[in-house]
Amino acid sequence: MIWAKEETLSRQELQELQLTRLKTTLKRVYEKVPAYRKKMDEAGVTCDDIKSLDDLPKLPFTVKRDMRDNYPFGMFTVPKKDLVRIHASSGTTGKPTVVGYTRNDMAMWTECVSRIACMGGATAEDVAQISFGYGMFTGALGLHYGLENIGASVIPVSSGNTQKQIMYMQDFGTTLLVATPSYALHIAEVARDMGLDPAKDLNVKKGLFGGEGMTEPMRNEMHRLWGKDFIATQNYGMSELIGPGVSGECLELCGMHINEDHFIPEIINPETGEVLPPGEKGELVITCITKEALPLIRYRTGDISRLFYEPCKCGRTTVRMENLSGRSDDMLIIRGVNVFPSQIEEVLLKIEEIGPHYEIVVDRVNYLDTMEIRVELADETLLDSYAMLGELEKRIKSNLRTVLGLDAVIKLVAPRSLRRFEGKARRVTDLRK
């Protein structure tokens, strides 16, 4: 089901709407946010210079640093009393990035999430278990409001306490799971420990995943665990932009439709800042054109993707962004070679004898970068055969070499011996830092 007519506008209708909204938003930030006024004045660009969408690249970028420099509310266009909600991003160092919502922003957020929930097959009949952590993270409350809005029965269980999650699934008849892909894998694993087959003994038919990437082999793993007809879609967002609700996969699974009447996407060369043509890979930049409290202009997400404007079979006309290759700051440079953890995951998860849990440890020994990949075996009995382990290690190494052009040390470990995650997985340890 397509939730809103704005998802099927013609390109011309959409662009007219975008331009009107962009102009209003620009005026708003220029008048109300000293940091924007300063940036635009320094760049020598005025609101009146933006006459068409092609003029967008004249505007300066906004970056995370601007949010930090204006901590906590300096980028907001409304006084604090107009906010009805405040969230903060899950930054690991220093002060978090603070985001706020007016009442209208909440309505817009709810609308955007309702759309992506429908894209992923959610309906009013669903019993939706939200296993994202509630709190400052935007994931849980974002999906909560969006799913409630479409009429689903929402269970706000939050993350953790996995056995209880499974009890609720059984007793309340959960049909839809909202979680990070890594937590969804872990829930299935614990269900198996409890003697249940998630595909047969639970009624979970759909997963709305997000907050971190889901590679295609990881999606296959979801089908293996949750059933072959399980609908596993992912959606994308970022606290600064709104939280979840920026884009989501439809059932065609060919990229994530961006809610373009609210967000204008661009792809840039991260080195030069130059805008790249459709189809080229680069850093995603988003301009928010309908938000009141925190409308970011040309925000550099740090996420690497590409845009496809060809029509989608689902009937939506909105642009699709390719599932992320990673974040530019996740990219490892190992002996001069650029490596995204998602590339490693793609290789590992195609090998039958190993499970979906892995860790990457990068170090520097005698001035030379090293990479060790710890991977869990799918089956404990494999540990008994040295010959088998040796052959498997060699095969993983050679597959990685083909894809990355790099050698890694492979350490096969027993099933269930690596860390598990209830939120976003942290699979890389870079000891060089």
Q: How far apart are CA 156 and CA 143, in angstroms?
A: 10
Among the listed ranges 38-46, 53-61, 135-143, 383-391, the one in contact with ligand DLL (CB under 6 A) is: 135-143
Nearer to ligand DLL, 208 or 400 (CB): 208
What is the spatial order of strands in the sheet that 368-377 belongs to? 409-413, 368-377, 354-365, 428-430
Which of 126, 303, 376, 422 forms a contact with ligand DLL (CB under 6 A)? 303
Residue choice 129, 165, 301, 318 for contact with ligand DLL (CB under 6 A): 301
Per CB under 6 A, contacts with ligand DLL among 181-210 are 210
Q: Is 138 in the site for ligand DLL (CB under 6 A)?
A: yes
Is position 345 an interface residue for ligand DLL (rule: CB under 6 A)?
no
CB atoms within 10 A of CB 167: 13
Q: Does 120 bind ligand DLL (CB under 6 A)?
A: no
Q: Where are the beta strands (DSSP E) in 51-187?
A: 85-88, 98-101, 127-130, 153-155, 176-179
Amino acid at 384: D
Contact 416, 190 (CB under 8 A): no
Give least dist CB 396 to ligand DLL, A: 24
Check binding of 239 to ligand DLL (CB under 6 A): yes
Nearest to 409 by CA among 373, 377, 376, 355: 373
233 counts as binding ligand DLL under rule CB under 6 A: no
Q: Which residue, 324, 287, 310, 346, is CA-closest to 50?
A: 287
What is the nearest approach in angstroms of ligand DLL to the Cβ of residue 280?
19
Number of residues that bind ligand DLL (CB under 6 A): 21
131 binds ligand DLL (CB under 6 A): no
Q: Are 255 and 323 in contact (CB under 8 A)?
A: yes
Question: By CB under 6 A, what part of segment 53-72 binds ligand DLL?
Answer: none
Q: Is 211 in the site for ligand DLL (CB under 6 A)?
A: yes
Which CB sits closer to ligand DLL, 9 or 344? 344
Other CB atoms closer than 10 Å to residue 28's CB: what's the count? Answer: 17
Name which of 70, 176, 171 is nearest 123 in CA terms: 176
The answer to whether residue 238 forms part of the interface with ligand DLL (CB under 6 A) is yes
The helix (H) or strand (E) run that includes residue 284 is strand 282-288
Amino acid at 267: I
Q: Would strands 127-130 and 153-155 be described as parallel, antiparallel, or unpaired?
A: parallel
Q: Which x/- pattern over 84-113 shows residues binding ligand DLL (rule: CB under 6 A)? A: -----xx-----------------------
Q: Minimum distance from CB of 169 to ligand DLL (Å)?
A: 20
| Location of structure tokens 């990881």 | 218
- Return the residue nearest ligand DLL (CB atom): 210
Q: Which residues bind ligand DLL (CB under 6 A)?
A: 89-90, 137-139, 210-213, 234-239, 243-244, 301, 303, 324, 327
